Structures are given as structure tokens and as C-alpha cells.
Structure 1
Amino acid sequence: MECNYITPAITAFDENRQLDKDALVNLYDHLIGGGVDGILILGSIGEFFSIPLEDKKELIRLAVRHIDHRTKVLVGTASMDVNETIELSKYACEQGADGIIVVSPYYFSLNDESIEEYYDLVAKECPGDLYLYNFPDRTGYDLSPDVALKLLRKHKNIAGYKDTLPGMDHTRELIKLIKPEFPEFKIYSGFDDNFAHNVLSGGDGCIAGLSNLVPELCSSWVRAFKANDFDLIAGIQRRIDQLMDIYQVGKPFVPYIKKAMLLKGIPVKDYCSFPLPVANEAQISKLEEILKKTDVI
């Protein structure tokens, strides 16, 4: 079975909350060495919401040039200002990104007509592949399968959809509605533990955060599917299910993913954008327990 595991990369910061370029290139090499099928920068786990526009452009330049076609590069270009989204989308494509991914505007809930109008404008202005991004816990509303299908029928550059929901009900309906008409359209889940269910349902895999920590495990899951090795698929599912406990150590989960990476020995620091928290001793102990139980450390 064909499938992909794409890493929504964390953004490495230094103690002054500036981009840590050395750590970023180390991270990209770590992910590529781990065999992931692509790297998404400036996603939700990449703290796009708190990074100034010029720093985003600097990060895009760094990532595209350093990764240098060794794996696929996607860029999150979402902003509350649609003009900034369009500017950054054009910039990312001009720099050589393989596509951009856009979560719809948050803060106010939008109706289907407004969502469709928003993506209509972005798709018309985007010179490359556009991936839709549904994250109802953050936007307060759903980018429905019906709206996605309407957009696909109008815009050939809409290439995929990331569906970040804890279950598979919504993603399954998306697959059932869209794949018969657009079989090449990529439908990804946003939570790691949905990878196998997504692929078995006819989707394309995951864009999910644990692959920052265990890219080699996630890429081996892809290989297991391609080899139809269902014993290995089931075994990896059980390890991922245990690793999902990292997401529950604290809120939001980003600092704890970073701390887990640091505990594993990955050469990044655990600084985050303000006011995201820092893991305390009890939380570090919990992370160590999870990582030892799953043979990560």
C-alpha cells in the first residue's frame, strides 16, 4: 500500500527566542536520516502563530536550501491576514517549496460560504500546490468534505488535505466523498495514532508530530505497509499508542515534544515562543517514563 509520513517540524529557538539555525539544520538532517517522506515547516507544532513574517521568510530560505530536494518540503503560510497568507505562499513557492498548507482563519467561526470564499482567493493567488488544513480545535469550525470537494472542482492546484481530529470519522467521510472523483488527492491525518486507520481506509498517511522524535519508527511503518507486513504494522501501532501519552503530559504539547527530543539526544533545545510553558521536574519524569517504556531511550 502506498502511503507517506510527513513530519510537521518543530521550530528550534535559542534562549532569546530567536531562530536557532544550527539546531534547525541538525533537525532537518535528523528527519531526513530517519527516512520521513517530507518535512512541513511553520505548521502548528512549528509555532507559526508567533513568528514574525520576516523570520518566517528566513526559515523558509534556510529549510529549502538545506534540505535541497532530499525530501519534500511543505510550508505553513497561514495568517489571520489573508494578504500575508498570499504573500508568504508566493514567497515559499518562489523559494522552491513543494507546496504550501493553509489552516483557515481562526478566532471567529466561519460559515461554509466564507470558508469557500477564503480558499478560493488563496488558491487563485498561490502559484504552487495548496494543501487544505482542517483543525477544528483551533479554528472553532469544520472545513467540511463538501466544501473541500467544491474547491477541488474549481482549483487544480489544491493537492491535499490535512485533517487534524482525534478520531477517523470525519477523515473517513472525506476519503469516501473525494477519492472516487479525485484519486490522486492526498488525504492525511493529523494525529500519529490514526496513520494505519487512515491508510487502510484509502487515505495517504499522516502529517503528525511524533515523527520529530521517532522518524525512523514512523518511516518503518510506511515500509511495513508497502510490504504488507501486518504483524509489523500492528506492533508499531502499539508503540505509537504508548508514545501518544506525550501529548497528555502538558498543554500545549509543543514544549513536551521538544523536551522528549532533547531527552533522546536529538541536538535541539526546548525553548518555545512566549508564553508556552517549560517542562517541570514532574513532567520531565513522566516523559522519561514514557520514553523508557517505548524503548526510545
Structure 2
Amino acid sequence: MNYEIITPVVTAFNNNEEIDYKANERIIDFLIESGVNGILVLGSAGEFTRLSYQEKKEFFKFYSEYVDGRIDLYAGTGSMSFDETVTLSNDVKNLNYKGAVVIGPYYYNLDQEKIFIYYDKLAKSVNGSVYLYNFPARTGYSINHKTIKKLVNNNSNIIGLKDSVSEPVHTNLCILETREDNFDVFSGFDDQFLYNIAAGGKGCISALSNIVPEIWSELVKAANEGDFDKSINYQSLIQELMPLYNMDSNFSYLFKLLMVYRGVELNPTAIFPFNQIDKNIINKSKDILDAVLEKFNKIK
């Protein structure tokens, strides 16, 4: 198995919270040139809740056309509207995305039976591949590994999982449950990469790769080459960056500010009301990033 890092990419907006297509082109080029394995468009880091159905549709099309086959694309199509989710998931199949990554309905809690009913109907309504997205901290419920196995058994187009859980034992159970299936399990948190692949998983779909894609690409390369010492060293650098997630209520805004700090040309605004941040947080975050990059340059 080849391990991977998929970047749940940030979305660049202008000051009116409209998509800045040119800035998004620069982000795409930055990630591809830095060696990540794929890009997830409109995941959690992409502030998808701000966009209308039409804006999402146009943005997915833009990504497909600009990338033009240079890297694997995944689409975050989850919505509170089931019909919209189905339509967008079918749209991205026609745009040559590798799959639709679908978070389930949020706000209202679902039991395992309803989770199965939702994803089973979704998979049977979608022509392309579906990746389940389990994020209990945001949905209020977790998809049980037995439910995942049942869904995989009933739908050949459910081919993977993004598992954003604080306790990786759940991810391990999902890997074990589906080990005989053609099913890729990704961890959603950067600090779980080595745990994931040691258990038989595929890697990570995690957002620090927006800021330090070159560290992530070196980590994945070392893992694929079986270089344990290098893998540990690079994973340790990723661990040191994990506090950035909790520095502010919207990590996407901070991550965009840090990308600008690194030289990526974009307007680092965020959706309202998450478009304000304390300068002390920015400065502290830059110090953390600088320290990690200095260590990286010494060991690479």
C-alpha cells in the first residue's frame, strides 16, 4: 500500500467573502509543487458552510479545470440537504474527482440505524465513489465500525473513510473491520499518521499540510520507503504544530495567515464571524512555525 497525505485545502476569499479564483490557483500550485498526494476541496478547512449550492458547483468545476489531472481531487459534498449532496456528488464524478467525501447530517443526532439508512441511500443515488466522513465533534455522533462494514458490504462504491476522532482506537477498529475489502481508511488528525499506517490505514486527510506541505510530503515519502527513523523525525515536527489548531476558534483563518507568512499570495480573510483574531495569537503561531521549519531544514 502507498501511504498518502490529502490536503483539505483552505479556500481563498476576497474582502466581500466571494471566492478569489486567482488566489486559489496559487494555493493549488503551492500544494502540488510541494508534493502532497491529493486535495480535498471544501472540507472543514475550506469553510464550505459559507457557500451556496451554485457556488460549490462552480468551485468544484474550477478546481477540476485548473488542476487538469495534475493531482487527485476529492470533493466535500456533505450538506444538510440530501438532494444537494447527491447532486454535487454526481457532479464531481463527471468532473473526474476521485470521490465525494460526505459528512452526514449535523445538528440532529442520528443512531446507527439512521446513519446506515442515510449513507446507504446516498451511495445508491450516486454514480461515483463515496468516502464516509466521521467527525463526531461536529455531527454529534460517530459512525460505528460495524455500521461501516455493513455499508461497505451493501455498496461497492463506498470505498473509504476519513475518521476525525480524538481516540485512534476507533480508526483501528474500522481498519480491522474492512481489512479484506477495497477500502481506504484515512485519519483526520495530523498527529495520527504513523498510528494509522501501522494499523493498516492509508494515511491522513489533515489540514496542517496547507501550511507545511513539504514536511508532510517528506513524512509520507519516508514512510513509503520504510525509513522508520526519518518518519519519526518528521512526525515529531508535525506534533509540534498541533497546538495551532486550538489557537483560535477558526483554524482556517490562522492557517491562511500562516500561508501568507510563508509567501503564498492570498487575502487571508475568513467567513464572518470568524474573521477576527488577536495579534498575540498570530505572533505566537509564527514563532511555533519558525521553530519547526528551522528544525526541518536541519534534518531534511
Q: Fold conserved (TM > 0.5)?
A: yes
- Find the counterpart in structure 2 of residue 214 from structure 1: 212
Aligned ranges for residues 156-167 of structure 1 at < 5 Å?
156-167=156-167
- Find the counterpart in structure 2 of residue 263 from structure 1: 261
Contact conserved, 1:259 with 1:279, CA < 8 A, in 2? no
The C-alpha deviation readout for 1:102-160, integer Å capped at 9, x for no partner, is 00100011011111111011101111110000000000001111111000001111110
How many Å separate the matches in 2 of 1:153 and 1:282? 51
How many Å separate the matches in 2 of 1:43 and 1:269? 19
Task: Specify the SS of the correspondent of 1:161.
Answer: strand
How many Å separate the matches in 1 of 2:74 and 2:94? 13
Task: Specify the SS of the correspondent of 1:159.
Answer: strand
How many Å separate the matches in 1 of 2:48 and 2:127? 21
- Find the counterpart in structure 1 of residue 27 from structure 2: 27
Report the CA distance between 1:254 and its aligned residue: 1.5
1:200 equivalent in alignment to 2:198: yes
How many Å separate the matches in 1 of 2:59 and 2:209? 20
How many Å separate the matches in 1 of 2:94 and 2:222? 35
The match for 2:289 among 288, 291, 296 is: 291
How many Å separate the matches in 2 of 1:244 and 1:218? 13
Aligned ranges for residues 229-248 of structure 1 at < 5 Å?
229-248=227-246
- AA aligned to 2:178 is I
Aligned ranges for residues 94-243 of structure 1 at < 5 Å?
94-179=94-179, 181-182=180-181, 184-243=182-241
Between Structure 1 and Structure 2, how many residues are aligned? 295
Report the CA distance between 1:271 and its aligned residue: 0.9
Contact conserved, 2:269 with 2:275, CA < 8 A, in 1? no
Greater than 6 Å deviation, 4+ residue runs:
none
Task: Specify the SS of the correspondent of 1:124.
Answer: helix
Report the CA distance between 1:168 and its aligned residue: 1.0
Report the CA distance between 1:284 and its aligned residue: 1.1
Task: Specify the SS of the correspondent of 1:238.
Answer: helix
Report the CA distance between 1:2 and its aligned residue: 2.3
- Find the counterpart in structure 2 of residue 250 from structure 1: 248
Task: Specify the SS of the correspondent of 1:251.
Answer: coil
Contact conserved, 1:198 with 1:204, CA < 8 A, in 2? yes
How many Å separate the matches in 1 of 2:107 and 2:289? 35
How many Å separate the matches in 1 of 2:95 and 2:6? 20
How many Å separate the matches in 2 of 1:37 and 1:138? 26
- TM-score computed with the length of structure 1 as normaliser: 0.97
- TM-score computed with the length of structure 2 as normaliser: 0.96
| Fraction of identical pairs, as percent | 38
How many Å separate the matches in 2 of 1:33 and 1:47? 23
Report the CA distance between 1:238 and its aligned residue: 1.1
- AA aligned to 1:252 is N
- AA aligned to 1:225 is A
How many Å separate the matches in 2 of 1:259 and 1:116? 39
Report the CA distance between 1:272 and its aligned residue: 1.1
How many Å separate the matches in 2 of 1:260 and 1:165? 25
Report the CA distance between 1:269 and its aligned residue: 2.1
* Unaligned residue ranges in structure 1 (runs of 5+): none
Task: Specify the SS of the correspondent of 2:132.
Answer: strand
- Find the counterpart in structure 2 of residue 276 from structure 1: 274
Contact conserved, 1:74 with 1:97, CA < 8 A, in 2? yes
- Find the counterpart in structure 1 of residue 61 from structure 2: 61
How many Å separate the matches in 1 of 2:250 and 2:270? 11
How many Å separate the matches in 2 of 1:265 and 1:245? 22
Contact conserved, 1:92 with 1:100, CA < 8 A, in 2? yes
Report the CA distance between 1:172 and its aligned residue: 0.8
- Find the counterpart in structure 2 of residue 8 from structure 1: 8
Contact conserved, 1:167 with 1:194, CA < 8 A, in 2? no
Task: Specify the SS of the correspondent of 1:133.
Answer: strand
- AA aligned to 1:240 is I
Report the CA distance between 1:275 and its aligned residue: 1.4
